[in-house]
Amino acid sequence: MTVAILSDIHGNLPALEAVLADAAREPVDHMMILGDILTDFPQFTAETLRLVRSLPAYVVRGNREDYIADHTAGRDGDDWERYASFAGNLETFRRLSAADLAWIDALPVQLALTFRDFSCRMVHDAPVSGSEPLKAQNKRALRRAARAVREPLLFCGHTHRPMVERAAGKWLVNPGSVGVNFDGTRGARYALLRWEDGEPRVETRSVPYDLAVLRASCAPDDSWARVCLRSIETGKNCNLELIREAQKRAGCWPVPNDIWNALLREWRTEGKI
Ligand SMILES: [Fe+2]
């Protein structure tokens, strides 16, 4: 049995297409998508969601789907309309149909699945909300997550870094990010799990795709998408770096538009984006 595990697509359609083409060469029995499907490359919103919805995949929601569901329900006030720092989210939201929004809103937070060979649980970040991030170096968090689930396999995303770890007798598998990976490989990350002799064998893959095509698809003023490109190219979370610097200058979040836009102008002048 072979399972393809995808996470954190973030609206990067060329990366998703590259992963699906790669996975199509394998005898994949099941596909799992661990959330954060949209928001960072809004130009591909409708096509990305159409493609994801067409897949015979199990899907859970990520924090990005929570943001969209909150905005749909009016639970987040008018920050997206007022603050330039949310421009990518707002543009994504505007490109979604009512049916898309309903589909996103109905996504489960977790899924527990039982197959012929094994049972597993899918989550976006951690099985207990508010937990520390599940990173390989954070053994305490891994143990806590492993003990919180009954299943021998826990699939998680969110960190944008691949991980295959064992804790408290369970396997914890993060396939890395399809759309905005932070590990410097520049490829689209996903994982293949094969169940052999009663044990999971996990292969994490980095599939190359044309970043120049992705760059050319970004509007000149779509600064957030360009910061995502820089994250992919440098292997560092430049998006978080930008947010932290803006917060430092403003002393608050959300950041006033004049401060946010001035910082983006600096990054442009420095050739970062
Ligand atoms: Fe993500």
Confidence (pLDDT) at 116: 85
Q: Please tell me the distance between residue 7's alpha carbon and the centre of ligand 1 in angstroms.
A: 8
238 pLDDT more than 90: yes
* DSSP, residue by residue, 212-223: HHHHHHS-TT-H
Domain ranges of the chain: 2-207, 211-269
237 pLDDT more than 90: yes
- What would the mean pLDDT of 94-111 be, rounded to a whole number? 97
Beta strands in the chain (DSSP E): 2-6, 30-33, 57-59, 111-114, 119-122, 153-155, 162-167, 170-175, 188-196, 199-207
Q: Please tell me the distance between residue 224's alpha carbon and the centre of ligand 1 in angstroms.
A: 14
Q: Please tell me the distance between residue 134's alpha carbon and the centre of ligand 1 in angstroms.
A: 13
Confidence (pLDDT) at 129: 84
Q: Please tell me the distance between residue 197's alpha carbon and the centre of ligand 1 in angstroms.
A: 33
We find that the CATH architecture of domain 2-207 is 4-Layer Sandwich (3.60)
Confidence (pLDDT) at 132: 87
- The three-class DSSP label of residue 167 is strand
183 pLDDT more than 90: no
Confidence (pLDDT) at 117: 84
Q: Please tell me the distance between residue 227's alpha carbon and the centre of ligand 1 in angstroms.
A: 14
Per residue in 26-84, pLDDT tens?
A: 999 999 999 999 999 999 999 999 999 999 999 999 999 999 999 999 999 999 999 99
Confidence (pLDDT) at 65: 97
Q: Please tell me the distance between residue 119's alpha carbon and the centre of ligand 1 in angstroms.
A: 25
Quick one: tokens of 160? Answer: 């944008």
- What would the mean pLDDT of 99-122 be, rounded to a whole number? 95
196 pLDDT more than 90: no
Q: Please tell me the distance between residue 116's alpha carbon and the centre of ligand 1 in angstroms.
A: 30
**Residue 222 near residue 208, CB atoms below 8 Å:** no
Percent of the chain whose pLDDT exceeds 70: 100
Q: Please tell me the distance between residue 238's alpha carbon and the centre of ligand 1 in angstroms.
A: 13
197 pLDDT more than 90: no
Q: Please tell me the distance between residue 39's alpha carbon and the centre of ligand 1 in angstroms.
A: 10
Taking the C-alpha atoms of residue 225 and residue 101, their distance in angstroms, rounded to an integer, is: 22
Q: Please tell me the distance between residue 102's alpha carbon and the centre of ligand 1 in angstroms.
A: 21
Quick one: tokens of 139? Answer: 């053994």
114 pLDDT more than 90: yes
Confidence (pLDDT) at 104: 98
Q: Please tell me the distance between residue 121's alpha carbon and the centre of ligand 1 in angstroms.
A: 18
Confidence (pLDDT) at 158: 96
Q: Please tell me the distance between residue 34's alpha carbon and the centre of ligand 1 in angstroms.
A: 9
191 pLDDT more than 90: yes
Q: Please tell me the distance between residue 155's alpha carbon and the centre of ligand 1 in angstroms.
A: 14
- Give the model's confidence band at 131: pLDDT under 50 very low, under 70 low, under 90 confident, else very high: confident
Quick one: 199 exposed, middle or buried, by C-beta within 10 A (0-12, 13-18, 19+)? exposed
Q: Please tell me the distance between residue 101's alpha carbon and the centre of ligand 1 in angstroms.
A: 19
* DSSP, residue by residue, 94-148: HT--HHHHHHHHT--S-EEEE-SS-EEEE-SS-SSTTPPP--TT-HHHHHHHHHH
Quick one: tokens of 164? Answer: 């295959």
- What would the mean pLDDT of 138-161 be, rounded to a whole number? 96
Per residue in 202-217, pLDDT tens?
A: 999 999 999 999 999 9
Q: Is the sign of the CA dihedral 189, 219, 71, 260 positive or negative?
A: positive
Confidence (pLDDT) at 23: 98
Q: Please tell me the distance between residue 36's alpha carbon and the centre of ligand 1 in angstroms.
A: 5
Q: Please tell me the distance between residue 62's alpha carbon and the centre of ligand 1 in angstroms.
A: 7
- What would the mean pLDDT of 262-266 be, rounded to a whole number? 96
Q: Please tell me the distance between residue 53's alpha carbon and the centre of ligand 1 in angstroms.
A: 18
Q: Please tell me the distance between residue 157's alpha carbon and the centre of ligand 1 in angstroms.
A: 7
